[in-house]
Amino acid sequence: SAVISQKPSRDICQRGTSLTIQCQVDSQVTMMFWYRQQPGQSLTLIATANQGSEATYESGFVIDKFPISRPNLTFSTLTVSNMSPEDSSIYLCSVDKGQGDEQFFGPGTRLTVL
């Protein structure tokens, strides 16, 4: 597995503001992903963070709302833009080390939007 850290671990934000979440991996990885887990729900993939190119978004998620960066093979950021209370969720990054399609998750960022 990989050691994955996320910052911040939690935040409380005001409606209309934006929050950038960072994900750092201790080794180079092929694939990095961003998920959302809303209260009582399963994980939903937001996008795949591609190194050196634009992220690939899943249906229902758009770049304007969730811009993603991936400047290198160990780091990615997800921004939640123009937040509303419906964005209150846990946001998790995950990595695939390329040895199968298992994914390993960061500890998550718990976001509350007031």
| Closest approach of another protein to the CB of residue 1, in Å | 8
**In this structure, which amino acid lies at residue 78?**
L
**Contact between 2 and another protein per CB under 8 A:** no
Helix (H, G, I), strand (E, B) or coil at 45: strand
Query: Measured from the CB of residue 72, what is the shortest distance to another protein in angstroms?
Result: 18
Residues 7-46 that bind another protein (CB under 8 A): 30-31, 33, 40-45
**Phi/psi at 26 (5° precision):** -80, 0
Cβ nearer to another protein, comparing 5 with 84: 5
By the rule CB under 8 A, 67 interacts with another protein: no
Nearer to another protein, 14 or 42 (CB): 42
| Token digits of residue 70 | 């991936």
Q: Is 100 in the site for another protein (CB under 8 A)?
A: yes
10 phi and psi angles, rounded to 5 deg: -160, 155
Contacts of 75 (CB under 8 A, 6+ apart): 22, 23, 24, 25
Q: Can you read off the two tokens belonging to residue 36? A: 């959302």
Output the smallest distance, CB 86 to another protein, in A: 19
54 near another protein (CB under 8 A): no
